[in-house]
Amino acid sequence: MDNDYFSKLTPQEKAILKDKGTEPPFSGEYNDFYKPGIFLCRACKSPLYESNAKFNSGCGWPSFDDEIPGAIVRYEDLSGGRVRTEICCAKCDGHLGHVFKGENLTSKNTRHCVNSLSIQFKAYDDL
């Protein structure tokens, strides 16, 4: 990870993006946030998700059923005695959260469970 991307983050943002932490459920600013725009990586500002991919999963974290092509990389995560798929920003490798399949919450059957502290919203008018 390029330290320049993480040098301007708050300690809480760095704990998520660099140290692979997780914010408490239902605590993030984007959990119940539904405005038209794009969600960017908070560290490197790369576009990650379009707002039309966001949905209410009830899990306590922002949920998306699709990413912008090429924006996300996936890694096997064996932490905590579970097998999960970690998702990170393809540009800076900042930790975003995890992706889950097979829950039948949307027609794409995919849920990107993302920490609010790892993303930043930009309205289409502000791009």
**Cβ pair 65, 108 in contact under 8 A:** yes
Q: Identify whether 92 is a catalytic site residue.
A: no
Sheet of strand 84-89, all strands in order from the earlier edge strand to the far edge: 54-55, 63-64, 110-114, 95-101, 84-89, 72-77
Catalytic member of 41, 88, 92, 113? 113
**Cβ pair 96, 114 in contact under 8 A:** yes
Q: Which residues are part of the catalytic machinery?
A: 113
